[in-house]
Amino acid sequence: MELSLAEIAEIVEGKIVGDSKKIINMAAPFEDAKDNHITFAGTARFLNQIKESNAGAVIVPYEFNEPSKNLIQVEQPFIAFIKVLDTFHPPSGLSCGISSSAHIGEGVKYGKDVSIAPNVVIGDNVVIGDRVSIYPCSYIADSVAIGDDVKIYSNVSVLERCKIGNRVIIQAGSVIGSDGFGYSSDGKIHHKIPHMGIVQIDDDVEIGAGNTIDRATFGKTWICRGVKTDNLVHIAHNVTVGEDTLLIAQAVIGGSSSIGKHSIIAGQAAIGDHVTVGNNVIVAPKSGVVKTVPDGEVVSGAPAIQHKLWLRAQNIFPKLPEIRSRLFDIEKRLNHLEINKDK
Running DSSP on this structure, what letter comes out for residue 149?
S
145-150 long-range contacts, Cβ below 8 Å, gap at least 24?
147/203, 148/111
Is 237 a residue of the active site? yes
199, 145 Cβ separation under 8 angstroms: no
- 144/39 Cα distance (integer angstroms): 43
Catalytic residue from among 195, 237, 262, 274: 237
Question: What 3-state DSSP class applies to 141?
Answer: coil
- 40/33 Cα distance (integer angstroms): 10
Running DSSP on this structure, what letter comes out for residue 56?
S
Tell me how far CA of residue 221 lies from CA of 166, 254, 308, 311, in angstroms: 17, 11, 33, 34
Contacts of 261 (CB under 8 A, 6+ apart): 224, 242, 243, 244, 245, 279, 280
- Ramachandran category for residue 113: left, alpha or beta (phi over 0 → left; psi -120 to 50 → alpha): left
- 59/72 Cα distance (integer angstroms): 5
Closest CA to 229 of 257, 216, 210: 210
136, 119 Cβ separation under 8 angstroms: yes
Contacts of 212 (CB under 8 A, 6+ apart): 174, 175, 178, 233, 234, 235
Running DSSP on this structure, what letter comes out for residue 281?
-
- 279/283 Cα distance (integer angstroms): 11
- 274/280 Cα distance (integer angstroms): 19
Q: Give the active site residues.
A: 237
